């Protein structure tokens, strides 16, 4: 490989950028424009931008498809690698490199095509996920695949933890497979027509926890929405986010949180869970035990009763 471009935005894309630098010359990096964050709405650069600047790579942040097409036109690139860039690429852009655009996708395609494959896999109770290297086409993650690596989803892993592991795995697969693809030693294969599922972007309303769920399904929802947007329910008129739960033997009244031996236990319709890590409205994330200490042993009634 001689000349490459990289497109990515979150921290999960940084390992693949590092791998691509090992494989050849990264001519430039494309990432999303800086976004306002926090109460002060200060502009913050993406993790990929920060890494690229630290490594001395040119960075571009186009605001429109037309700007992106202009950036790639006439560059004489061998390949472009895409990892969670955050925008769908126009068909005209996909023709601007000799060997196309390779996407490092965090699922076992054709399962979970879309923006939130890791979270959807956890929500569905999948036991395995993985990384697929594919050539982008005009569809949503429908292009031919030339490399796959599988990994189990462990029982207590959050979406953030699984994504971090897949980020490293994706970089390894890219490092091991891209050169073989470019030299025709790996041939892309069309995805199977059966088994395709969609993984649309997560919404805050979707992360609203249903207290009528079983403890196992409730815990799966908490894991899937950790770290973003954070699973939640309402208590004392305010939103309470939950980032980790554990099994709980004591049965408490459904729709209530009881403090038992210094631990907050939430009653569900068919069982209970311990609130291991949580975030009251307007406050930082804290352990359930710290929250219980602040309550001085006083539980509370959740605003929403189990269905």
| Start and end residues for every CATH 3.40.50.170 domain found in the chain | 3-199
pLDDT at 171: 98
Task: Examine the pLDDT at 119 and tell me if it is beyond 90.
Answer: yes
pLDDT at 305: 73
Task: Examine the pLDDT at 306 and tell me if it is beyond 80.
Answer: no
**Mean of the pLDDT values across residues 250-277?**
95
Tokens 């502009």 sit on residue = 43
Residues 222 and 183: their CA atoms lie apart, in Å, by 44
pLDDT at 307: 64
| Start and end residues for every CATH 3.10.25.10 domain found in the chain | 205-301
**Mean of the pLDDT values across residues 140-167?**
97
**Mean of the pLDDT values across residues 254-261?**
95
Among 17-21, 34-38, 47-51, name the one with the lowest average pLDDT. Answer: 34-38
pTM above 0.85, yes or no: yes
User: Dihedral through CA 47, CA 53, CA 58, CA 63, nearest 10?
Assistant: 40
CA 108 centroid distance within chain: 14
β-pair partners for 133? 104, 147
pLDDT tens track for 37-62: 877 889 999 999 999 999 999 999 99
Among 216, 179, 224, 212, CA closest to 81: 179
Between residues 297 and 76, which one has the greater pLDDT? 76
Among 229, 235, 304, 228, CA closest to 275: 235
Q: Give Cβ neighbours of residue 99 (< 8 Å, ≥ 6 apart).
A: 78, 79, 181, 182
Q: Report the half-sphere exposure of 207 (CA within 13 A, side-chain side).
A: 21
Residues 182 and 197: their CA atoms lie apart, in Å, by 29
Among 163-167, 193-197, 303-307, name the one with the lowest average pLDDT. Answer: 303-307
Task: Examine the pLDDT at 172 and tell me if it is beyond 80.
Answer: yes
pLDDT at 1: 66
Among 240-244, 262-266, 294-298, name the one with the lowest average pLDDT. Answer: 294-298
Q: What are phi and psi of 39, to 5 degrees?
A: -65, -30
pLDDT at 304: 80
SS3 (DSSP) at 196: coil
pLDDT at 54: 98
Task: Examine the pLDDT at 265 and tell me if it is beyond 80.
Answer: yes
Tokens 């196309």 sit on residue = 100
pLDDT tens track for 199-221: 999 999 999 999 999 999 999 99
**Mean of the pLDDT values across residues 25-32?**
98
Mean pLDDT for the chain? 95
What architecture (CATH level 2) is domain 205-301? Roll (3.10)
**Mean of the pLDDT values across residues 68-94?**
96
User: In CATH, what number does 3-199 get?
Assistant: 3.40.50.170
**Long-range contacts from 179-182, C-beta under 8 angstroms, 24+ separation:** 179/1, 179/23, 181/99, 181/102, 181/133, 181/146, 181/147, 182/1, 182/78, 182/79, 182/99
**Mean of the pLDDT values across residues 259-284?**
96
Give the β-pairing of 238-247 and 59-60. Answer: unpaired
Tokens 């095509």 sit on residue = 113
């Amino acid at each position: 490989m001689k000349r490459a471009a990289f497109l990515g935005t979150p921290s999960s894309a940084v390992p693949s950028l590092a791998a691509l630098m090992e494989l050849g010359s990264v001519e430039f990096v494309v990432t999303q424009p800086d976004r306002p964050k926090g109460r002060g709405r200060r502009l913050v650069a993406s993790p990929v931008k920060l890494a690229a600047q630290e490594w001395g790579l040119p960075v571009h942040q186009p605001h429109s498809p037309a700007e992106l097409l202009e950036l790639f036109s006439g560059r004489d690139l061998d390949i472009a690698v895409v990892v969670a860039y955050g925008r769908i690429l126009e068909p005209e852009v996909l023709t601007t490199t000799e060997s196309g655009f390779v996407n490092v996708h965090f699922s076992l395609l054709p399962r979970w095509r879309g923006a939130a494959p890791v979270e959807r896999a956890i929500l569905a109770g999948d036991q395995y996920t993985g990384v697929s290297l594919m050539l982008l086409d005009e569809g949503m993650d429908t292009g031919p695949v030339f490399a796959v690596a599988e990994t189990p989803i462990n029982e207590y892993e959050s979406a953030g933890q699984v994504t971090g592991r897949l980020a490293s795995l994706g970089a390894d697969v890219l490092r091991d497979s891209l050169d073989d693809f470019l030299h025709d030693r790996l041939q892309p294969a069309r995805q199977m027509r059966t088994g395709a599922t969609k993984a649309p972007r997560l919404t805050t309303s979707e992360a609203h926890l249903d207290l009528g769920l079983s403890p196992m399904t409730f815990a799966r929802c908490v894991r899937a929405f950790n770290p973003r947007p954070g699973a939640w329910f309402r208590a004392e008129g305010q939103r309470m986010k939950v980032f980790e739960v554990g099994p709980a033997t004591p049965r408490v009244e459904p729709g209530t949180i009881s403090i038992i031996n210094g631990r907050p236990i939430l009653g569900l319709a068919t069982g209970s869970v311990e609130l291991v890590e949580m975030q009251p409205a307007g406050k930082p994330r804290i352990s359930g035990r710290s929250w219980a200490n602040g309550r001085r042993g006083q539980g509370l009634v959740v605003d929403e009763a189990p269905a």
